[in-house]
Each structure stands twice: as structure tokens, then as C-alpha cells.
Structure 1
Amino acid sequence: MVMGLAEEPVVIRHTGDPLMPADAVELAKDLDEEWSASDGRLTRIYTFSNFAEALAFVNSVGELAEEVDHHPMISFTWGRVEIEIWTHSIGGLQRGDFVFAARVDKIYEHM
């Protein structure tokens, strides 16, 4: 059985080079099509039926972020959450960012 990104550990390197654009495009194929990869960042907007659901999702993503020590940019309002992921220290994307994105999708699926 092939392990999906969401089942991999989130491993973040704090040194080195970001992924080459072609490698990022290839990894993005393993994410939900709602994710966009551009300018060295992954971005997705999630929708909810009310503020409380959006807040609960943000809190769950926050727990994941603390657990793996990788913190996305999160903005939310009534029924809408935007997540932006990249590795600040390398100024771009690495495999761990895609794993983190897949884990965020898994949280969303279980909301």
C-alpha cells in the first residue's frame, strides 16, 4: 500500500534550498485540487456554514501546528478560513509543507 502525504511525518528542514518549481508542481498533484502553489507558497480557502465551525477548524490546525512546530499563516472570518503554508527559514516550499497541507485537509474532512 502506498502511503499518502497525510500519513507521512511532518519533517521541516530549517536550512537548505526550497524545492525546485517542477518538484513542487509534482508534489502538488498529491494534494486536493483546491490548493494552489505559487510564489513558493501553498494556499487554500476552506468554507464553513458558520463562524463557530471556522473557529473550531482554526483551533484544530493550530494544535497540529504546535505539535509539529510548523506554523502556517491563517486568516479567518465568518464561514471562511484561508491557510498559507511555506517554510519561512528557507524562503519557500519543501516536502514537509505538502505533508502539512495534506494533514490540514484531513482535519477538514473530519469536521
Structure 2
Amino acid sequence: MPVEPLSQKEIEDRLAELPGWSAADGRLTRSYRLGTHFAATAMVVHIAQVQEELDHHSDLTLGYNTVDLSVHTHSAGGAVTVKDFELAQRVEALAPGHGAQ
């Protein structure tokens, strides 16, 4: 079943429930800072597992002690959809366990 793009109002309303996340250039984005490179690497692996479970993948960048995500839905023409918010919520839920800020 195709996923429909969200309106700008729907995106703004949903972002209000996800501190630290923003929407720019048709994507949801978030950066996390962690205590060590190893902690950041572990978080990337955990996010990859969630992405596989959801069958929805972000652009995921590992820095020395940072993790950056950028996500949109290719099947919706590169727009932001509920799938992107589902992934963002799952990442937000796992981030504290990795000490991410």
C-alpha cells in the first residue's frame, strides 16, 4: 500500500513531539552526540537493526562521537511520511540507552 506524503502542518505537529528533530529540504534530520566513538558505533548498529525491522532506511552518518540521520520516503517521491516519523520515534526511544544527547 502506498504511503502518502504528510502536509507541512502534519509534519510540524509531529515534530513538536520529537525534540531535536527538524524538517529541512524534504527530510527529517537529527544529530546525536555520544560519549565515545564506540558508543556512537553501537548506536548505528542498533539503528540499522530497527531500520531492517521497519524496512525503512535513513541516510545514517557515523562521526567520531556523533550519529546523524536524514530520512524521507523514496516510494512517496522523496517526501516525509508517517514511516519517517515511525523510524524517528524508534530511534528516539533507543538513543538514551546509548547515552546519546
Where does structure 2 lack aligned partners over 5 or more consecutive residues?
A: none
Residue of structure 2 equivalent to 1:74: 60
Identity percentage over the alignment? 32
Residue of structure 2 equivalent to 1:100: 87
Q: How does 1:1-111 map to 2 (within 5 A)?
A: 15=2, 17-32=4-19, 34-90=20-76, 91-111=78-98
Where does structure 1 lack aligned partners over 5 or more consecutive residues?
A: 1-12
Kindly tell me the number of residue pairs found equivalent between the two proteins: 97
Question: For 2:18 and 2:47, how far apart are their aligned partners in 1?
Answer: 17
Q: Alpha carbon RMSD of aligned pairs, Å?
A: 1.3
TM-score (ref. length: structure 2): 0.89
- Note the C-alpha offset of 1:107: 0.8
- Note the C-alpha offset of 1:72: 0.6
- Note the C-alpha offset of 1:87: 0.6
Q: Secondary structure at the match of 1:110?
A: helix
Q: What is the letter of the counterpart of residue 7 of structure 2?
A: M
Where do 4+ consecutive residues of structure 1 move more than 3 Å? none
TM-score (ref. length: structure 1): 0.81
Work out whether residues 29 and 70 of structure 2, in 8 Å CA contact, stay in contact via their aligned partners in 1.
Answer: yes
